[in-house]
Amino acid sequence: MTPDIRELDADTRDRIAAGEVVERPASVVKELLENALDADATRVTVTVEAGGKDRIVVADDGVGMTETGARKAVREHTTSKLRDIDDLNAIGTLGFRGEALHAIGSVAWLSIRTKPRGATRGTELTVEGGDVVDCGPVGCPEGTTVEVTDLFGNVPARRKYLKTDSTEFAHIQQVVSAYALASPEVAITLEHDGREAFSTAGDGDRRSAVMAVYGREVAASMIPVDGGAKGPLEGIEGLVSHPETNRAGREYMTTLVNGRYVTASTVREAIVDAYGTQLSPDRYPFAVIDLDVPPGGVDVNVHPRKLEVLFADDEGVREQVSAAIETALLGEGLLRSRAPRGQSAPEQTEIPGEQTESDGSEDDKLDSAARPETEVGSDPASASGGRSASRSSSAWADDTEPSDRSFRDTPTQNTLGGEEATGTPTDLDRLPEMTVLGQFDDTYVIAETADGLVLIDQHAADERVNYERLREAVAGDLTTQTLAELVELELTAREASLLDAHGDALSRLGFRVQRPDGRTAAVTTVPALVADRIGSDAPALARDLLSEFVAGDPEGTVEAVVDDLLGDLACHPSIKGNTSLREGTVAGLLAALDECENPYACPHGRPTIIELSREEIENRFERDYPGHGGRRQ
């Protein structure tokens, strides 16, 4: 049977096309907000309910539309902003495709109330399923109010893929924040479920917009960038944060091209590069960077949602942005070294398996306790082992009796607290018997098994051990420890919204957070299990955990959310400082790992162990090469 080939009806075509523009509530907000800004508004209010799934209202005091204008605006490919294709190269407005209102109208219920400046009457127009179902005069203020409800009501497949309210709102907040930072001369307010997320003054001062969106502390830390550097860009202007004011995610770097909010990974990378070693590898600054790109220097028409941009001279842009930001940071005396990012400072590399960015003395104590050479070397019973003078770079191999290094041969050494492991895990979940040979790159344990060699990533192993311990503690009665000192911290608008949505899950984890006011948080308790290690880092840690709610978008039960967070907590730099090595030796780490339900992967799925089988090693040495007559020894 041959399948029928049929033409799609106009309705279906519309909805498919609309899907290119309207992916989620945040895309609706973005289009409506861009229209308001293009309409010369001085004040825009964005109000959303249930992450924008139930209702989105964008109200502006801009130029408004006549009835004819409004009727035209909701038709396909109608725009007041572009006459023909030649205009595409010199677009001064944010929107230009003339498809947003039409697209939104075909996947939602859409209403527009609008009145041109100075006009005596306004127009109200309603679109349902892509058709204008109602249009008539109405009394309303000058400007335009667009309301969108029942988004994707007629496209269940798309509606189904929307995330939690909190995550959808986080996307909306990202877009509105970006435009609030991009257009400090416009007063922009964002409200979610009746609560104000932020409100900018519209006084034209970028720093004041940063204060509204990110808080006073961040605003105070911002350094002006005013790039006169040479390159393909005509100018670079904006603000970047002091390196000490940073976060765990990239979402606080806002990139603009000629005032338009875009995603430009090139620019984000260039910003981070400029900080060099001033930032730890997993931390990111706050930044608002506007690039003045000459006509033809950028392709803004890459994607229907117009978020991605391509630069004609990508490398040139990257270098110019980095140079401009370096100059700004240097001006504040903030850059000392030009070592590439990722090459850690000495204090980070000399400690085996250590990767914390903390400067606390608490951690310094840990560091020395965590050093395997200190531990093993201090054991008088192992001091005599002298079979490896040739491997002097490895403390374990040097100083340890063969029997001490043989994991599982000496069970009393292998378990924590000197107890033997209970339970009977299956072979699959257990590590092979192994003899530790040494350490490579201060990072990997090298061991010999019956089948070949294994490399164990200490960090990944440690994260797995931490994770399972935390999970056990949370499942039982999680003991919390009250912090002696109440540390308050300021939240960005985004963090405040996340805390509203996920405060319960955080407290299930042991982090109880008080809210003296909307944008301030104070952590009162932490999980006792990690209390000694995080100490005064607790508030910042809780704040980092909050961001993970969006990154991972954990759906469903509090349990699922908590489990997701446990994984992040176990991997957090201030937690993963060698728990197991602190408690014993490498054997201790391996024993703890062996007791894990799943010793083979870190909580985020990275492997803890790589096996190199005898066959593989032999193959690499071409031991079956005929020239050797197949001889093996």
Q: Please list the residues that pair with 517 across neighbouring strands.
A: 520
Torsion sign, CA atoms 49, 51, 53, 58: positive
Type of residue found at 259? G
From CA 415, how far away is CA 411, in angstroms rounded? 7
Q: How far is the CB of 81 from ligand ADP (least distance, A)?
A: 4
From CA 604, how far away is CA 394, in angstroms rounded? 30
Number of residues near ligand ADP (by CB under 6 A): 23
Q: How far is the CB of 45 from ligand ADP (least distance, A)?
A: 12
- Quick one: DSSP state of residue 393? T
Structure tokens at 211: 């204060």
Q: How far is the CB of 476 from ligand ADP (least distance, A)?
A: 55
366 vs 528, 576, 579, CA distance in Å? 17, 11, 9
Which range, of 71-79, 228-236, 331-339, 563-571, touches ligand ADP by CB under 6 A? 71-79
Number of residues near Mg ion (by CB under 5 A): 3
Q: How far is the CB of 260 from Mg ion (least distance, A)?
A: 12
Does position 36 interact with ligand ADP (CB under 6 A)? The reply is yes
Residues 6+ apart with CB under 8 A from 318: 266, 267, 269, 270, 273
Nearer residue to ligand ADP within complex by CB, 14 or 60: 60
Q: How far is the CB of 62 from ligand ADP (least distance, A)?
A: 5
Which residue do the tokens 């176990």 mark? 570
Write the binding mask 522 to 541 for ligand ADP: x where contact by CB under 6 A, - elsewhere.
Answer: --------------------
Does position 96 interact with ligand ADP (CB under 6 A)? The reply is yes
Output b/e per residue, 547-581; b: 16+ Cβ within 10 A.
bbbbebebeeeeeebbbbbbbbbbbbbbbbbbbbb
Write the binding mask 60 to 99 for Mg ion: x where contact by CB under 5 A, - elsewhere.
Answer: -----------------------------------x----
Does position 144 interact with Mg ion (CB under 5 A)? The reply is no
- Quick one: DSSP state of residue 607? B
Does position 372 interact with Mg ion (CB under 5 A)? The reply is no
Structure tokens at 458: 């200490």
* Intra-chain end-to-end CA distance of the chain, in Å: 64
Q: How far is the CB of 257 from Mg ion (least distance, A)?
A: 17
Q: Which of 14, 31, 165, 375 binds ligand ADP (CB under 6 A)?
A: 31
Site for Mg ion in 92-131 (CB under 5 A): 95, 100
Does position 95 interact with ligand ADP (CB under 6 A)? The reply is yes
* Residue 71 contact, options Mg ion, ligand ADP, none, Cβ 5-8 Å cut-off depending on partner type: none
Does position 175 interact with ligand ADP (CB under 6 A)? The reply is no
Structure tokens at 1: 């049977």
Secondary structure E strands in 441-511: 444-449, 452-457, 480-490
Please tell me the total number of residues recorded for the chain in this structure. 633
The DSSP bridge pattern shows strands 287-292 and 253-257 to be parallel
Does position 127 interact with ligand ADP (CB under 6 A)? The reply is no
Does position 375 interact with ligand ADP (CB under 6 A)? The reply is no
* Residue 144 contact, options ligand ADP, Mg ion, none, Cβ 5-8 Å cut-off depending on partner type: ligand ADP
Q: Which of 35, 106, 277, 458 binds Mg ion (CB under 5 A)?
A: 35
From CA 316, how far away is CA 328, in angstroms rounded? 18
Nearer residue to ligand ADP within complex by CB, 82 or 487: 82
Which range, of 30-38, 50-58, 245-253, 454-462, touches Mg ion by CB under 5 A? 30-38
From CA 50, how far away is CA 57, in angstroms rounded? 12
* Residue 65 contact, options ligand ADP, Mg ion, none, Cβ 5-8 Å cut-off depending on partner type: ligand ADP
Type of residue found at 44? V
Q: How far is the CB of 97 from ligand ADP (least distance, A)?
A: 5
Does position 577 interact with Mg ion (CB under 5 A)? The reply is no
Structure tokens at 437: 């040979």
CB atoms within 10 A of CB 325: 27
Report the greatest alpha carbon distance in the chain: 100
The DSSP bridge pattern shows strands 246-247 and 284-285 to be antiparallel
Q: Please list the residues that pair with 607 across neighbouring strands.
A: 601
Nearer residue to ligand ADP within complex by CB, 62 or 503: 62
Q: How far is the CB of 593 from ligand ADP (least distance, A)?
A: 56
Does position 98 interact with ligand ADP (CB under 6 A)? The reply is yes
Does position 65 interact with ligand ADP (CB under 6 A)? The reply is yes
Which range, of 78-86, 171-179, 415-423, 574-582, touches ligand ADP by CB under 6 A? 78-86
Q: How far is the CB of 174 from ligand ADP (least distance, A)?
A: 20
352 vs 359, 452, 467, 582, CA distance in Å? 17, 24, 20, 12
Does position 80 interact with ligand ADP (CB under 6 A)? The reply is yes
Please tell me the number of Cα atoms within 13 Å of 591 on its side-chain side.
27
Does position 374 interact with ligand ADP (CB under 6 A)? The reply is no
Does position 262 interact with ligand ADP (CB under 6 A)? The reply is no
Site for ligand ADP in 445-484 (CB under 6 A): none
CB atoms within 10 A of CB 2: 4
Q: Which residues are at the interface with ligand ADP (CB under 6 A)? A: 31, 35-36, 39, 60, 62-65, 73, 78-81, 95-102, 144
Q: Which residues are at the interface with Mg ion (CB under 5 A)? A: 35, 95, 100
